[in-house]
Amino acid sequence: MASASGILPAVFDISNPLYILPSDTPGINLISEQLVGGDNYGIWSRAMIIALRAKNKLAFIDGSCSRPDLSSNTLLQWERCNAIVLSWIMNSVSKEIFSAIVYSTDAMVVWADLKERFNKINGSRIFSLHREIGKLTQGQNTISTYYSSLRRLWDEYSSLVVLPSCSCESAKKYLEHDQQHKLLQFLMGLNESYMHIRSQILMMNPLPSVGQAFALISQEESNRGILSTGSILGEDPNAAFYASQDTKKKYPLYCDYCNWTYQSELLQVSRLSRRSSFT
């Protein structure tokens, strides 16, 4: 069926960015992070890119799906998809930023503007990340909590410093060096109680990845928890056993409800028998 302009509407495959799913509504929030400025732009943009890729709408902000010509039969569908993506971006920014982009009509232009305003990569933030990573230790935290904190810092650093992604031999060696560096950082921050397993990991050839080392140390932590729980459970039954033996020696039969004891019953019978003998 032709439209009012005489242009036949296009039919889109589900893999096409112009295809709109039933869940692609303007009012939803794709991510929980809200852009407030340059301090969290890195985390916000990374989360938005992941969400838009999942929705198959990343093409509307990277320029690969630009606005078609006025005579194109895909123009109306493009405008609908662009408006949806634009609303998703507006839903994930603060009120101050929202007021500055509410009159914009192109999602790609808004994305580029936000990147230009807030994507301030400077040496001071990279220095701060290096310092936080170097000072981070396990302390009173569990292995999982400590590792998660370290991973958060590593991920933020990776978003600021782009590592080589090609398949050449030099890039592979650089990535291996980066993994080894993270492994050493993770092991250095562990408590001294894990010194033995840390030494065992460092003696492995080749060295494991930081994820494998985390799995080994987490297993060690779980084993220690089981042993400590077992020792506690082993002490309590013995204490209860000896206490019950002492109670049995003093009071062979005892009622918790009425505080009746067999020994007190014997004492009462003895008193009655003495009275009867005197009478």
18 phi, psi to nearest 5 deg: -80, -5
Cα separation, 58 vs 65, whole angstroms: 9
pLDDT tens digits, one per residue of 91-114 = 999 999 999 999 999 999 999 999
Residue 270 confidence (pLDDT) above 90 = no
* Cβ 187 vs Cβ 202: under 8 Å: yes
Where is average pLDDT lowest: 3-17, 26-40, 125-139?
3-17
Domain match, 24 and 100 both: yes
Can you give the pLDDT at residue 259? 56
Which token pair is 150?
A: 């370290």
- The answer to whether residue 242 is domain-embedded is no
- Least Cα distance to 191 among 136, 131, 230, 232 occurs for 136
Helices (H), the chain: 41-54, 59-62, 75-91, 95-101, 107-118, 123-135, 143-160, 169-188, 195-202, 210-250, 262-278
3 and 116 belong to one structural domain: yes
On whether the CB atoms of residues 197 and 220 are closer than 8 A, the answer is yes
The boundaries of the domain holding residue 176 are 123-224
Q: Where is pLDDT greater, at 110 or 229?
A: 110
Same-domain pairing of 111 and 155: no
What pTM value is reported for the model?
0.58
Q: Which of 85, 135, 75 is nearest to 105 (CA)?
A: 85
Q: Which of 108, 115, 210, 120 is nearest to 160 (CA)?
A: 120
- 165, pLDDT greater than 60: yes
Q: Give 207-228 pLDDT, tens digit per residue.
A: 999 999 999 999 999 988 877 6
Specify the pLDDT at position 19. 92
Domain-ending residue, one of 120, 148, 176: 120
What single DSSP character describes residue 71? T
> Distance between terminal CA atoms of the chain?
122
* Cα distances (angstroms) measured from residue 36 to each of 39, 113, 149, 228: 8, 14, 22, 46
Q: Which helix (H) or strand (E) holds 36?
A: none
Among 224, 240, 269, residue at a domain's last position: 224
Q: Do 91 and 50 form a contact (C-beta atoms < 8 A)?
A: no
The tally of CA atoms less than 13 A away on the side-chain side of residue 278 is 6
Query: For residue 263, is it within any domain?
Result: no
Q: What is the tens place of the pLDDT at every residue in 57-94? A: 999 999 899 999 998 899 999 999 999 999 999 999 99
Task: Give yes or no: residues 135 and 196 share one domain.
Answer: yes
pLDDT tops 70 at residue 199: yes
Domain boundary among 203, 224, 245: 224
Q: What are phi and psi of 35, to 5 degrees?
A: -70, 125
Q: Looking at the 3D structure of the chain, how many domains does it have?
A: 2
